[in-house]
């Protein structure tokens, strides 16, 4: 079972639907992959930082050790690449599994 860590921002200035994005990502995960918020289960295979705006206030260097690979979603960007909101889940899957 592959665990994928998950960290959210506080949602004070969302420019994207963070929960809708999470649901879309869940639908696309292959069998055996599971998302977790439990930091005690790290280090994870990968982790997603889902921030609603480009500020990415939840991006904390102390989190780095929890995962070998972090994918940062900050507003309509995936890893600082502008991405239409309806394509973010697809971009995340490419980064997770390529």
pLDDT tens digits, 20-69: 999 999 999 999 999 999 999 889 999 999 999 999 989 888 888 999 89
Q: What angle do CA 34, 76, 37 make, to 5 degrees?
A: 25
Give the strand order in the sheet containing 33-36.
33-36, 2-8, 46-51, 70-74, 77-78, 81-82
What is the pLDDT averaged over residues 78-84?
Answer: 96
* pTM of the shown model: 0.92
| Cis before 30? omega within 30 | no
Question: Which DSSP symbol is given to 88?
Answer: H
pLDDT at residue 18 above 70? Answer: yes
pLDDT for position 19? 95
**Cβ(20)–Cβ(61) below 8 Å:** no
Instruction: Band the pLDDT of 1: cuts 50, 70, 90.
Output: low
pLDDT at residue 92 above 70? Answer: yes
pLDDT for position 49? 96
């Amino acid at each position: 079972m592959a665990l994928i860590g998950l960290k959210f921002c506080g949602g004070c200035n969302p420019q994207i639907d963070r929960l809708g994005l999470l649901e879309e990502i869940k639908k696309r995960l292959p069998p055996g992959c599971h998302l977790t918020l439990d930091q005690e289960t790290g280090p994870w295979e990968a982790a997603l930082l889902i921030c609603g705006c480009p500020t990415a206030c939840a991006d904390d260097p102390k989190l780095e050790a929890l995962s070998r690979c972090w994918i940062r979603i900050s507003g309509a960007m995936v890893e600082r690449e502008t991405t239409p909101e309806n394509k973010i889940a697809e971009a995340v899957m490419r980064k997770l599994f390529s």
